[in-house]
Amino acid sequence: MRILLTNDDGIHAEGLVSLEKIARALSDDVWIVAPEYEQSGASRALTLSDPLRVRKAGPQRWSVEGTPTDCVMMAVRELIDGAAPDLVLSGVNRGQNIAEDVTLSGTVAGAIEGMALGIPSIALSQAVRIFHDEAVIHWETAEHFGPGVVKRLIEIGWPKDAVMNVNFPARPPERVDTIEVTRQGFRDSHVRTAEKRTDLRGRDYYWMGFTGELSDPAEGTDLKAIYSGRISVTPLHIDLTHNEALHRLKGLLGGVPPKA
């Protein structure tokens, strides 16, 4: 099995080291194409107004001065010799990618680009625990469970127009004993914030971040699974149609266009 690895935290990220361990537990034909610099929050951005510069970082390993989407496209179209990958793994992200955050995630976007190119793709993320104002991240949890989860997903299979979004909880491996197939949740509180600061010249600027506030999610969601210490596996697709609204509008807005 030929596996392509990418991420949004960059070519030097700790999570990419963990992802390579996961991939090499499954295959010895592993290719890595990741952003030169961190691209967290880049979503499905594609670089159109600047040149894409590529750096050879080792055998079957490149960095791209672009987004995760750029990386997967360049890997499949230009950089990998011979056959296309059989699988794209994106991650392991530093922090969970769940609920509405999946629409911002460069990690999920890397998997979506693989899917768009006809390759089964999985996004993997490791949740972070804040302890005494410091981030504690158990990479060993993703490394321990990742190979088995990926292997089982490949055995089961999934639709060609979907990607698998796997999140590991912020616990050490010995405290994780359950995996749950979940739906995408939606937080009932606003967790993103902009902190106003002042530079040394007296000019204001803003730093985007997260409050860390937990919501009260429903059972069966990715949020609830991660909060409860379970591995979450969510099938995602990019059809954003709201079907309930679609059917309602068809009965109210179809036909002759309304007048002002």
How many CB atoms are located within 10 Å of the residue 248 CB?
11
The answer to the question of whether 93 is labelled as a binding residue is yes
State both tokens at 19.
């992802």
In whole angstroms, give the CA distance from residue 194 to residue 147.
Answer: 37
In whole angstroms, give the CA distance from residue 90 to residue 177.
Answer: 24
Nearest in space to 15 (alpha carbons), one of 127, 163, 169: 127
Could you tell me where the beta strands, DSSP code E, fall in the chain?
2-6, 29-35, 54-58, 61-64, 87-94, 121-126, 128-131, 134-137, 163-168, 179-181, 192-198, 204-210, 231-236
The answer to the question of whether 188 is labelled as a binding residue is no
The answer to the question of whether 9 is labelled as a binding residue is yes
Written as one letter, the residue type at 67 is T
| Residue 59 Cα to chain centre, angstroms | 25
Residues facing 89 on adjacent strands: 5, 122
Q: Which residues are annotated as a binding site?
A: 8-9, 40, 93
Q: Which residues are annotated as a binding site for a divalent metal cation?
A: 8-9, 40, 93
